[in-house]
Amino acid sequence: MLVLTQTGFTNSSIDPILKSVGVPKGSFYHYFASKEAFGFAVLESYRRYFESKLDSFLLNRDVLPLERLKKFSKDAQDGMVRHDFKRGCLVGNLEQESTLLSEDFCEQLKVTYLSWQSRVAVCLLEAQQQGQVAIECDIENMAQIFWVGWEGAVHRSRLVKSTQPLSAFLEFFIKAVQSK
């Protein structure tokens, strides 16, 4: 995951990945039929990891819903700083390479985003029920918009080596869902 979040999937060669973890090439092909099969396994692992992370923030009923989004954002910003803006979101990186990936790979990216969007939607619906989000707000649409904007903000943050794009996006998004 580390190599793929830094260099992308299509630009990554199997050799440096194997060297970084001390695995011989023959062993790799014993477990994976191809680089794409390996990519699917990495994506699935990342999806499970990130879903767990999202659940810990967005489904935590001890915290007000919009505060959950802020805490998620703060954690992401802290992570980007900790990794000197060299690592981003594996799924966002893969999405940027989508024209070079197979249709099956792209489908798995879509499934991942739908899973993440559902978690944001649950959080926003709870916020709406508590009066934190405008009643006329289209929750499903806003959950999609969150990820479209968030991934763009992650990429911009890496470019400018600052968390400001993430903060700006979250502030904009929260105002948008609160507006009446």
The more confidently predicted of residues 92 and 69 is: 69
Mean per-residue pLDDT for 52-65? Answer: 97
Q: Give the per-residue pLDDT at 178.
A: 93
pLDDT digits (tens, 9 = 90+) for 90-143: 888 888 888 888 999 999 999 999 999 999 999 999 999 999 999 999 999 999
pLDDT digits (tens, 9 = 90+) for 110-121: 999 999 999 999
The second-level CATH assignment, the architecture, of 2-178 is Orthogonal Bundle (1.10)
Nearest to 14 by CA among 45, 44, 47, 39: 39
Confidence of residue 180 (pLDDT cuts 50, 70, 90): low
C-alpha distances (whole Å) from 136 to each of 45, 105, 133, 175, 177 are 36, 35, 9, 14, 9
C-alpha distances (whole Å) from 42 to each of 28, 47, 91, 120 are 13, 8, 10, 23
Share of the chain above pLDDT 70, in %: 99
Asked which of 25-29, 59-63, 78-82, 122-126 is least confident by mean pLDDT, the reply is: 25-29
pTM of the model: 0.88
Share of the chain above pLDDT 90, in %: 68
| Residue-averaged pLDDT of the chain | 92
Q: Do residues 120 and 147 make contact, with C-beta atoms less than 8 angstroms apart? A: yes
Backbone angles phi, psi at 75, to 5 degrees: -65, -45
